[in-house]
Amino acid sequence: MLDRRWVADHTEEVIENCRRRGMPESLLEEIARFSSLDADRRRLKGEIDGLNQQAGLVSRSIGKAASDEEREARKAEGRQLREQISALEVTINEVVAAGDVILRSIPNLTHPDAPAGGEDASVEVRRGSTPLPTFDFKPLDHVSLGEKHDLFDFEAGSKVAGHGFLFSKNDAVLLELAMQRYAVEILARRGFTLTTTPDLARDSILEGTGFMPRGPETQIYSITDSDLSLVATAEITLGGAMQDHVFDADELPLKICGISHCFRTEAGAHGRATRGLYRVHQFTKVEMFAFTKPEESEAMHAELLDIECELFDGLGIPYRVLDIASGDLGGPAYRKYDLEAWMPGRGEAGDWGEVTSTSNCTDYQSRRLGIRFRTPGAKGTTLVHTLNGTALAIGRAMIALLENHQQADGSITIPQPLVAWMGKDRITT
RNA sequence: GGAGAGGUGGCAGAGUGGUCGAAUGCGCGUCUUUGCUAAAGACGUGACCGGUCAAAAGCUGGUCCACGGGUUCGAAUCCCGUCCUCUCCGCCA
């Protein structure tokens, strides 16, 4: 979330930003209301502070009271003050709660260079080093390739868990492991701390990271009779792990890699391009997360993007990089780049499909999570910036890999960097 | 899962109803002594929300002793719930 005080003092700027992001008119009106709510909060806070001071003085005087009558009189006075305070606290809590609802619904500010507009306004800013493939045969999509080589069992997935789940089989398993090993290798070399993370997290952690468990339109699976949910991405746990932490300045920037399963209900996503691996309820992802000082976050964002490019260039997968338009940014993102890989089997004659996403969330997540750093000699603490990026989302990357590397004879070549981990250089029948 | 112990400032650790944001030690900062280092001494050393101020500093009010509730004029201290840690037992990959 944004800073409460800053929002109250910069209402016009905040509204302008929301307009740029295509937020509904109703939210803009709410933001205008926020400023007066916050003024109420401050006024009430002043009153309560004053009463607290009085009540404290009264309480302390009781021990030194000269007589029983005086003591009783003071007690009554103290009781009366506390009642006033309680009443005001009820009011201020309501005001704060109303303000918080608004504050939490306000998205992050937007990078001035991010393209303005909706989904279609995103701008291609870069291409990968691998050219689009040319086939002298009709390329298959990954589902057909999977059938040919017995790589996936969607029926078994449906049987045990329902539509959107699958079993990987045979060479697909080796490939999954090889891809993870490949990604981890590159991230380790880039100075990331390697972790595997819990696949479940408390609802409070989800909320702190900006996810909404248990709403009517939630994308999150939750566990009945507990406060746990299945994570949609390791971003939740990697950010959540540092909740309320204060870094020393020399610990930053900190780069962490987390491998987790990701679970998404994909509510309302039926009927879209969901064949095969593209949109499933569970997949494995190698995620990057970074904590930086504010002035370092843009450079870190560029680094995360570079790593994503390096990973896909290394796999020989053609892709384009999109600078995501303001209207299509998620709430916490100040700026976001997506990699879209070329998927020859997608649509009529191939199409781009999103495979990674990297966001600079500036201090939007860290404010709610209370993640700060301290500079020696300087007073106070400063909120860190958080960034996240996909290293490899296994399912989607595998679609691109299988479809781009298929050969006329039906076999699939394994990109060189994976061969050692995979133990073979080709998938054949 | 069962039984017990416990969660206090950057760390260690005292504090069982008021004068406690909290002793003491370590660490850290400034200064003094010293040719440098070491050592010693003096002083200082948290976060958050407000007020004052153009702003910062400063000054000033409040809140914070895991978290949330309760009792009380008053809670780090008493009661309840939650979370977490440790020890033992059970179970288990």
Element (H, E) at A280: none
Q: Which amino acid is at A283?
A: F
Nearest nt to the A43 alpha carbon by C1': B50
Nearest nt to the A78 alpha carbon by C1': B73
Distance A325 CA to B49 C1' (A): 36
What number of helices (H) and strands (E) belong to chain A? 13, 17
Of chain A residues 3-22, which have a beta carbon within 7 Å of strand B?
4-5
pLDDT of residue A350: 94
pLDDT of residue A214: 79
> Considering only CA atoms, which residue is closest to the C1' of nucleotide B83?
A202
- List all nucleotides in chain B with at least one atom under 7 A from a protein Cβ: 10, 18-19, 28-29, 46-51, 57-58, 61-63, 72-74
A396 vs A353: CA distance, rounded Å: 8
pLDDT of residue A204: 87
Ranges of chain A whose pLDDT falls below 70 = 268-274, 377
A2 vs A293: CA distance, rounded Å: 17
Distance A251 CA to B36 C1' (A): 31
A32, two tokens: 């205008």
Q: Is the CB of A103 under 7 A from strand B?
A: no
Q: Is the CB of A52 under 7 A from strand B?
A: yes
Distance A56 CA to B75 C1' (A): 13
Q: Is the CB of A276 under 7 A from strand B?
A: no
pLDDT of residue A271: 55
pLDDT of residue A385: 94
Q: At what angle do helices A297-314 and A171-189 cross, to 10 degrees?
A: 140
pLDDT of residue A256: 95
Q: Is the CB of A320 under 7 A from strand B?
A: no
Q: Tell me A332's DSSP state.
A: T
The DSSP bridge pattern shows strands A382-383 and A372-374 to be antiparallel
Burial class (CB in 10 A: 0-12, 13-18, 19+), A226: exposed
Q: pTM above 0.90?
A: yes
Q: Tell me A67's DSSP state.
A: S
Q: Is the CB of A301 under 7 A from strand B?
A: no
Residues of A designated catalytic: 264, 279, 354, 357, 396
Query: Each residue of A244-262: b (16+ CB within 10 Å) or e?
Result: eeebeeeebbbbbbbbbbb
* Cα dihedral A248→A251→A252→A255 (10° resolution): -140
- The size of chain A, in residues, is 429
Q: Is the CB of A50 under 7 A from strand B?
A: yes
> Considering only CA atoms, which residue is closest to the C1' of nucleotide B72?
A79
pLDDT of residue A269: 63
pLDDT of residue A268: 64
Q: Is the CB of A49 under 7 A from strand B?
A: yes
pLDDT of residue A226: 83
Q: Is the CB of A275 under 7 A from strand B?
A: no
pLDDT of residue A140: 95
Nearest nt to the A45 alpha carbon by C1': B50
